[in-house]
Structure 1
Amino acid sequence: MVNEAAPARFAAVGAGRMGRGIAIAFAYAGHRIALIDLRTRSEEAWQRLRSEAQAEIEGSLAGLAQLGVLDADQARSIAARVELVPAADAPGALAGAELVFEGVPETMEAKREAFAQLNRHCSAGAILTSTTSSILVTQLAALVKKPERFLNMHWLNPAYVIPVVELSTHPATDAAVLARTKALMEQIGKLPVVCGPTPGYIVPRLQALVMNEAARMVEEGAATAEEIDKATRYGLGLRFAALGVVEFIDFGGADILHHASREMSASIDPARYAAPAVLDRMMAEGRLGLKSGSGFYDYDGRDVGAYRRDVLARTLGMLRHAGLWRPPAHETLP
């Protein structure tokens, strides 16, 4: 890992697992990135952290090489683009960064201390983000000197593999800053999605419900962990890899979800399975999705036949990827 004369355009603050994953993502895309430790440490402690971070970054890249994604020379070149920066050198690295990711421990005290340093050392034009998974963007915006240039950014682990990054904005986030952040993330091959200041972002909020329900099913003896995992990988997961969750509601029909919610609310749990008010309104208005011409999406003027073929093609693609697609059998003669 090398130290170039010019500062890196990107900086990840906090040299833990998330910071290391972000560093790999940018380095893989060809960018130099500073991985900054803000905590003042002894020389021995810093060298230990540095060695741990280097080992994890190199190990992650070696794993990709073993899977044929890259070769050993490429892995070394990628790792060399990550500059590990101790606290003493943090001001210079922060001053030259145009996009900064805060990834210190999940406490307001740690965030407050980190943003105090970012406020002092980052340029006025820098975009600041927090990778917090639990603290609302509206809470953290108060810690930032220029809140219009701040938003939360939630990465999904492993950060250098999963394409989606969730951008959570607050009312004062500048639209141009959001557009610039999205563009920068797209340039490194990421797929940014935007949500407001909501707990759990999008993915964690959805997956927590699924994971809790799976754990309950094991606890109740409804099915084994192995059977649940088979059902989710090749049933639930495969379908939701081909269609988005809301798209899936429209495709099957809001009435299907409404009736299923009513039955499971009565037989399993009235609170967990109660249909939301928006679903009741859609039923009353006849907005059932694709079958009625409108639902969460508007299908007016859309070639429904072509859309259905596209959904089928996506699904077949996932089946082939999973190795589960079978050609038609020859007729069995008596």
Structure 2
Amino acid sequence: MFMTPFVMSAVLSASPATQKPKAPIPPRVVTFEGACDASGAVVRGDGSFTVADDEDNVIRVYDGKTGGRPVSTVDLSAGLELPAGKKKAPEADIEAATELPPLSFWLSSHGRKSSGKLDANRFRFFATRASEDGKTLVFEGKPYTRLLEDLLAAPQLAPFGLASASTRAPKEEGGLNIEGMTAMADGKTLLIGFRNPLPQGKALTVELLNPTELPQGKSARLGAARLLDLGGLGIRAISRWRGRYLFIGGPIAGEGTSRLFTWEGKAEQPSVVDGIDLTGFNPEAFATFEDKEEILLLSDDGSRLIDGVECKRLQEPSKKRFRGVWVRLPAKP
């Protein structure tokens, strides 16, 4: 069994002074095998979810309850129109995912490599749908590669210095890195969230108004841009669940502890979900099932050591793994 130092304290409701505090509820941690760097995920109706790994171009389906090996896998490299590599196609750095049925949308980081070198393979926004037999994914249209150009040209984003940010490494202060995306309440628009930059120390979001048109080659139409106060953290993931938005906020450079936030869509400062300690956990994706009382946080465990080696550097896929933890949120106020 893959042990974890992850610690979570229970969410306790207010109670009279005479009532003893409830005992902490142990977190329900599930281990998923065959990958390390869980990033964007999309739920399925049978309690399973589809998840990307930002270190390859493979989409994997897992059972959210039992974990273990993937139920199925599909390598999207060919459809992403990536150049052939010596051993494998270069990674597209897929960081976020969401769904507007019957389509799933996937978004790469749109940032440079960690070294600061430009890599055009990381500029991809694309859509997939399930095949007729439900066993694989097929592309809807073609990958869209001009989203960064659209972002830089948008007047509402001009105050935030994205042109300068796009020339820096993604984890450098003031760099550019997109890691969050979710469907909005209207069922047509997507909300995109930046891990970096942090203008005025706040997390940047922008609305994508026409996601279904991008795979058909049409330029992005961008809506409102907003800054959200996550206490100096950038956006690692976004989801919409039971009428509210969920954010994972994390440091731009990967060092430090992430926090979970909820947002009703209006206030500048989302609410911190108290009582959840994410120490030792690196959440980068949500699997949020509308019919379940808990949400599933997925950890990017690429840097965790397994037999003394970073998970993402293991040569044997069977040894790779990442963690998920089921979290129960407090009731909406």
- TM-score scaled by length of structure 1: 0.26
Q: Which has the higher helix share?
A: 1
Q: Which has the larger radius of gyration?
A: 1
* Higher RCO (C-alpha under 8 Å, 6+ residues apart): 2
- TM-score scaled by length of structure 2: 0.26
Q: Which has the higher strand share?
A: 2
